[in-house]
Amino acid sequence: MRFGIVGCGGMGRVHATTIASLAGRAEVTATVSSRFASARELAREYGATAFPSLEAVLAADVVDAVVVCTPSGRHADAAVAALCAGKHVMIEKPLEASSVAAARVRAAARHSGATATVVSQHRFDPASVAVKRAIDTGRLGRITSGLASVALWRPQEYYDSAVWRRSGVADGGGVLMNQAIHQIDLVVWLMGRPATVSADTATLAHEAIDVEDAAAATIRFDNGALATVHATTAAYPGTSTRVHVHGTRGSAIIERDRLAYLHAAPEAHALPGEGPLARNQAAEVLPDGGDPGSNIVALARQYVDFLDAIDTGRPPVVTLAEAGRTLAVVEAFYDSARTGRPVHVGDSGGMMIRLAEQNPQGAGPSTASAAGAEPGSASSGCAQ
C-alpha cells in the first residue's frame, strides 16, 4: 500500500516511521507540508517524493492511501479531497475539531467507497482489548461507572510553539480535544452510547492561550451508567493516564496503557465480596500487564487493522461513526462548559451538520445545490 503523508511535523514523522515498520505491506511514497522543506526532508529519509500540495499528489496518482497529520481543525479538507479522489484515508485524532466538519468527511467516505479510519491506537493495546473482552462476555456484570483521568504537564513553550495549540476549540488545541480524547474514546468504546454530559473547563497554568488546560466532566450513558472525566496539562510533572470501568461483578483499571487491576467475581458467587475473592487477576490475563510497546508498535497495530480492512472489505475497528461519536462527546463538553448546563450528545450544530453532510466540500450549501442541482450531486459527498 502506497501512503502519502499530509503534514510532516511530529505526528507525520511518527506515521512515517510506523509505515516503514510494515515493510512488505506499506511504504511512504509521497509527503506534503505547508513548509515544503519539512516535506522534502521527510521524503528524503524514506525514499519518497515531496509535493507542494495534496492536489499535486492526487494528480500524480502515486498513492493508494493518505494519512492526514495536519492541525486538528484542518483535517476535513485533506480527508475529503483524498476520499473524493478514491484514496483510502487514515486521520490523526481527532476526526476534526467540530462535528460539522466531521460530517463532510463521513459524506465523502460514503460516496467514495474507500476505507477511512481515525487514529485511536489505544483501542488496540492488549490491556484495552482484555477489558473490552471482559465487558462483552459479561464478566464485569452490568457496567455502572467509569473514569478517564489524564494528568499531564505541558510547559508554556508547548503552547507557544504552534498557534493551533492555543487558538481556541475550533483548532482542537485544548486538553480535552488534543490530549484526553484517547482516554475519552476508550471510556465511550467500553461503556456504551453517551446520552448527556456536564462539564467545567478552566485555564489555570498557562498564559496567552484560548484553550482549557484543566477540565472536569461527567457522562451519562443510555444504559444509565455514569463516567467521570478529569483532564489537565497543568499537573506538574505529569503523573498518569488512567481508565476505570466498574460493574456489578467486576472492575478493571488501565494505567499508563497497562492493565493495572482486573477482578471478575466467580460465577458461583451471587454476591461478590471483598478480601481474598477480590484479588487482582490482571496477571492471570496479561502476565506483563499488557505492555503496549512503543508508540510505533501501538500505532502499527492500528495500521495492520486498516490494511486488513482494505484487503477484506470489512470496516476498520475504528469507524468514522465511532470517531464522530467521541468527537461529539468532547464538543458537548465544550457546550456544557460554555452554557453551564447539561448537554445532550449530538445536539451541537444539528442543522449545520446536516448541511455539511449534503455538501462536504464546503461549510454550507453549495451554489449548485441552492440553485436546484441534479438530485444527488451535492449529497453524494464529492463533486461530479
**Domain regions of the chain by residue span:** 2-121+297-317, 128-293
Q: Which CATH architecture has domain 128-293?
A: 2-Layer Sandwich (3.30)
Q: How far is CA 183 from the centre of its chain?
A: 9
d(CA 94, CA 272): 39
Picking from 145, 130, 194, the residue whose alpha carbon sits closest to that of residue 342 is 194
Q: What are the CA-CA distances from residue 138 to residues 243, 267, 373 (Å)?
A: 19, 10, 51
Q: Spell out a b/e string for 16-36, using b for 16 or more CB atoms within 10 Å of the CB, else e.
A: bbbbbeeeeebbbbbbbbeee
Cβ proximity of 68 and 91 under 8 Å: yes
What is the pTM for the complete model shown? 0.89
C-alpha cell at 149: 483521568
Which amino acid makes up residue 278?
A
Rounded to 5°, the CA angle 224-227-233 comes to 160
Kind and range of the H or E run holding 89: strand 88-91
d(CA 272, CA 274): 7
pLDDT in tens, the chain (384 residues): 999 999 999 999 999 999 999 999 999 999 999 999 999 999 999 999 999 999 999 999 999 999 999 999 999 999 999 999 999 999 999 999 999 999 999 999 999 999 999 999 999 999 999 999 999 999 999 999 999 999 999 999 999 988 878 887 566 779 999 999 999 999 999 999 999 999 999 999 999 999 999 999 999 999 999 999 999 999 999 999 999 999 999 999 999 999 999 999 987 665 555 555 578 999 999 998 899 888 899 999 999 999 999 999 999 999 999 999 999 999 999 999 999 999 999 865 443 444 445 555 554 332 222 222 222 333 446 865
d(CA 326, CA 182): 9
| DSSP line for 212-261 | -SEEEEEEEETTS-EEEEEEESBSTT--EEEEEEEESSEEEEEETTEEEE
CATH T-level assignment (fold) for domain 2-121+297-317? Rossmann fold (3.40.50)
d(CA 140, CA 131): 9
Helix, strand or coil for residue 29?
Answer: strand
d(CA 334, CA 217): 10
